Amino acid sequence: MDLLSAQAVSSYLERSPALHLVDGVLLDEGPGDDVIDPATGAACARGPGASRALLDRAVAAAARAQPAWAATPVEQRRAALLALAGVLRESADILAALLTLEQGRPLARTRDEVLRAATLLEAVVQIGLDPDLLRDDARGRVFMLHRALGVVGAIAPWNVPVGLAVPKIVHALYTGNTIVLKPSPYTPLATLKLGEFARDLFPPGVLNIVAGSNALGEWMSIHPGIDKLSVTGSVATGKKVMASAAGNLKRLTLELGGNDAAIVLPDARIDEVAPALFAAAFVNSGQVCMAVKRLFVPAALHDELCDALSSLARRVIVGPGFDPASELGPVQNRPQYDAVRRVLDDTRSRLGAQLHAGGQARPGGGYFIEPTVVSGLAEGCPLVDEETFGPVLPVLSYRTENEAVERANQGRLGLGASLWTRDIDRARQLGGRLIAGTVWVNRHVGADAEVPFGGARESGIGQQFGRAGLLDCMQSTALYLPARTEAV
């Protein structure tokens, strides 16, 4: 099937619409909202919209299926999930085309998203779930046993739809839970199609995918049949979910916003670090939770770095994701596009602000904004203090490393941070002072399957990946046994 244009993908969806997956059955309940192609601003497909009754059916199916799934030997759960990785790889072209249509990124990038999800999945299911032996001495033995929680609800955002949904499926199902997954209303198509392609891999009710508006997310938050919610989204949504999840004290994993700082140290060579910093700031047109969103640079290197980043920004080709020449796509949706333009307007009005490259929204229907490098700002304005989530990077000049670390630590967020230097010992010292869930040295962005990923402060609660991420989906029980020698 040749899905190399928006028209081709839209007509494929007319012949084969994206449907909910509930209890092993594909359902056409809806209609949901139009899905908008961000490259044109026009409707390109219609997603289904789940009612509250359909959510109830999905949760009931997940609850029915859960005990048998938890009792299935872990090797079989692992095998079913490895088969899901196979489905991701086999259907990478079609899933990538759907992602490019709804999310906007160039095809090569959305294909990477699907393949990387498969690779992460394969690594996560190699992590052991055995009990921990905490003590074995004259006082006795203590084991920590880990068992599934029950039904996991998962709520995903629009910036990396499949790449962020698949880890939620893997964490929940590998640990013996069943799942009801909701993609973003902006990007439901690829996730629903993944459910269709994978529906025979699991017993009915184990994997359920229902699409709908933000209200569906709220219904999930208050649903008494959901034992745990894993949400990736904005801080505002995370707070609402936390409040409404109180009814049955749902376990929560919240992966929320970031305003990540990258600190270039005085010994860094600008020609070496600029391309990697540019990529880490403008990946997915800045719409990545852990993208570089504040760039601190010593005053002596400031102009050189601004020049290097600006020339990269001028060279990068921004365009529709189906154009093979495009390197960056549009902002994904209209409200986000308007929000980024408001930040640009505010930035232009600030005394001292200098826009080195970009700064313009492109005329026409699509949500294109040129990669923008800004200097001359400090704390006290939205571009620096808040998460912009778009292709606009502030470069902030500093005098001492202490000052840079203190300023990087300002604010309510703490997702990631990075240091750029040839002095790794110094990076290690400073890295321990940065308040963030992840600190990288000479790189930024990326999570590995065996390394827990989560946010400090309001960037989140709990973790994904690593054994800690899997245990976030489990209830632990301390089992005290008498000492081996003790007569019973």
Question: Which residues here bind ligand NAD, judged by CB under 6 A?
Answer: 155-159, 164, 182, 184-185, 214, 217-218, 221, 232-234, 237, 240-241, 255-258, 289, 387, 389, 415, 455, 460
Kindly tell me which of 205 and 258 has the beta carbon lying closer to ligand NAD.
258
Kindly tell me which of 237 and 372 has the beta carbon lying closer to ligand NAD.
237
Tally of helices (H runs) and strands (E runs) in the chain: 16, 22
In whole angstroms, the minimum distance from the beta carbon of 213 to ligand NAD comes to 7
In whole angstroms, the minimum distance from the beta carbon of 4 to ligand NAD comes to 27
Amino acid letter, residue 148: A
Q: Which of 29, 44, 113, 289 is catalytic?
A: 289
In whole angstroms, the minimum distance from the beta carbon of 388 to ligand NAD comes to 10
Positive/negative CA dihedral, 26, 28, 30, 33: positive
Q: Which residue, chain included where needed, has tokens 């770095």?
A: 305
Structure tokens belonging to residue 251: 């376990």
Residues 6+ apart with CB under 8 A from 372: 313, 344, 355, 357, 358, 359, 391, 392, 393
Catalytic annotation present for 370:
no
E strand or H helix at 438, and its extent?
A: strand 438-441
Kindly tell me which of 205 and 469 has the beta carbon lying closer to ligand NAD.
469
Kindly tell me which of 258 and 366 has the beta carbon lying closer to ligand NAD.
258
Q: Which of 29, 113, 122, 255 is catalytic?
A: 255
In whole angstroms, the minimum distance from the beta carbon of 163 to ligand NAD comes to 9
Catalytic annotation present for 381:
no
Task: Kindly report the backbone phi and psi dihedral angles of residue 294, in degrees, each rounded to the nearest multiple of 5, phi listed first.
Answer: -140, 130
CA distance 156 to 154: 7
Over the range 274-306, which residues count as b (16 or more CB within 10 Å of their CB) and which as e?
Answer: bebbbbbbbbbbbbbbbbbbbbbbbeebbeebb
Q: How big is the chain by its Cα radius of gyration, in Å?
A: 23
Beta bridge partners of 181: 154, 209
Kindly tell me which of 178 and 232 has the beta carbon lying closer to ligand NAD.
232
Extract the runs of DSSP E, i.e. beta strands, from 290-383: 292-298, 354-357, 372-375
Kindly tell me which of 231 and 297 has the beta carbon lying closer to ligand NAD.
231
In whole angstroms, the minimum distance from the beta carbon of 1 to ligand NAD comes to 28
Count other Cβ atoms within 10 Å, centred on residue 22: 26
178-182 and 132-137 beta bridge pairing? unpaired
CA distance 172 to 298: 44
- Which residue of this chain has its Cβ atom nearest to ligand NAD in the complex? 217
Q: Which residues are catalytic?
A: 255, 289
